[in-house]
Structure 1
């Protein structure tokens, strides 16, 4: 491949200098997404419900030379989502390139045993939070001129999984 073609491809596919928010970035898929984006020189802000986990991950990423910031946020709470996006707007100067709605949870129970509180918590965390964060991030994504949203779902939304009816519904939504 010619050097000019390689440089052109690198420019087209580069994420260097972009900004991203990844919810639930201290564990599992979210952690891997934060590392992958940071490895492509994206400035990432993540959130977690757990301050200790967040601090450990931020230190780990700092040691790797990644540009990652973070804040405590339980995405099941509307006011915390709003605070998260105000923080993100401040850190990234009113612009955002990538929103990754990754945070999610489940409560393993038979469908007939799910309480109204269980249903509300699962739908709030897995569906409402993603929808609301899309709304809140819209002005920032638009201001960047180059915005993308990634919603992490689950195979459980299309395949029956025991004790996961509400989880499946929330991820399907």
Structure 2
């Protein structure tokens, strides 16, 4: 087999993807499956997740597609995910930390339980998933973690300060782990999307005036698609990206060069 072709494929990999049933997580699952990776899908909605598992199994019969319903912002659920993985002896080599949430408000309007939940969903869950995955990832020669950050972790984009704080911290976690775990053969990168067309972004983008303002600050003059973020994530997982670690890749249509 041509080694350069192998560098652009993911046969022999098993990817653990959180928030895998919808939006960016679902697009990542399809992208990685198309490159030959087996899938371990995690999301909160058991029934919907099972539908996604069946769909991906039908579309990619040559790979294994398994699913486990869990809320990775909860410590017990995170442990349950890795008990499930241990029971199957699944060889996890890729971790995609995509699960997250938000409640946009003015800073002074947040209740303590609201902003703490955002931190649990977006930051602490990824931190703990990385730690739990570490012993599995060290067993594979080409292991990688990709965290789904946000341009809000780099500049102000009206998402609410807790969301921006968690994404900035997630970017820094990416850099720290890249340096700390390089010796273990684990590359750690992140993507930082701008507006992507998902269920979560639909309410904001339904406001025509707001949409126009977003597009005015996006050089490519359009909203991104989940598949475009998934392609960037897949690249960072590939053996072809073997000398890239600690990087936060903006998937933003040029937005960060404009500001908002």
1:63 corresponds to: 58
The residue matched to 1:162 in structure 2 has which SS? coil
1:142 aligns with 2:100: no
Alignment: residue pair count = 167
Are 1:94 and 1:143, in contact at CA under 8 Å, matched by a contact in 2? no
* CA deviation string 1:131-166 (max 9, x = no partner): 001100000001223311111101111221225110
Q: Retained in 2: the 8 A contact 1:46–1:70?
A: yes
CA distance in 1, matches of 2:59, 2:4: 26
Task: State the distance in 2 between where 1:86 and 1:40 align.
Answer: 27
Q: What are the equivalent positions in structure 2 for 1:14-33 lying under 5 Å apart?
A: 14-33=9-28
Does residue 85 of structure 1 match 2:89? no
Aligned 1:51-130 pairs, distance under 5 A: 51-66=46-61, 67-91=64-88, 93=89, 95-130=91-126
**Counterpart of 2:176?**
none
Counterpart Cα distance in 1 of 2:46 and 2:90: 25
Q: TM-score normalised to the size of structure 2?
A: 0.61
Q: Return structure 1 stretches of 4+ with deviation > 6 angstroms.
A: none
Any gaps of 5 or more consecutive residues in structure 2? 170-260
Q: TM-score, normalised by structure 1?
A: 0.90
Structure 1, unaligned runs of 5 or more: none
SS in 1 for 2:41: strand
Q: Secondary structure at the match of 2:139?
A: helix
